Amino acid sequence: MKFRIEYNIDAASLKDRVPTEYKGLAIACEAQLSDLCTLITFPHNRKDVVKSGLVEKALKKLKENMPGSLVVVGGCFSLESVGLLKAKNAVFLNLSEFAWSDERHTAIKSGEAR
């Protein structure tokens, strides 16, 4: 899965649009959302790290002047991804907050020694 973008989601029904393990997080953030939301669902297993390249692709696909809040779902976001999404005032729903950089995650995945 790369990512999926859904527009014009009522904030009250966001919990019904996210993966099961994220429902509690969606309910908890409901009060801070606008009436309408845009939801981007990235790879969302706990060990999935969403890197900045994928986030950049998703942000380029967003409609201009989208209404409401931007909500992003992902297993874990790299430091660079967090920066890009915070610039868009995104609300994060993630299972892990391990502080990976894009470069370090790529190095470890390719088997580079520490």
How far is the CA of 70 from the CAs of 1, 47, 58, 85, 102, in angstroms? 20, 23, 12, 9, 22
Q: What is the pLDDT of residue 30?
A: 92
CA dihedral over 79, 80, 86, 90, signed as positive or negative? negative
User: What is the rounded average pLDDT for all residues in the chain?
Assistant: 90
Task: Break the chain into its structural domains and give their ranges.
Answer: 4-109
The string of pLDDT tens digits covering residues 68-99 is 899 999 999 999 999 999 999 999 999 988 78
Q: What is the pLDDT of residue 86?
A: 96
Contact 43, 50 (CB under 8 A): yes
Q: What is the pTM of this model?
A: 0.88
The string of pLDDT tens digits covering residues 20-49 is 999 999 999 999 998 999 999 999 988 889
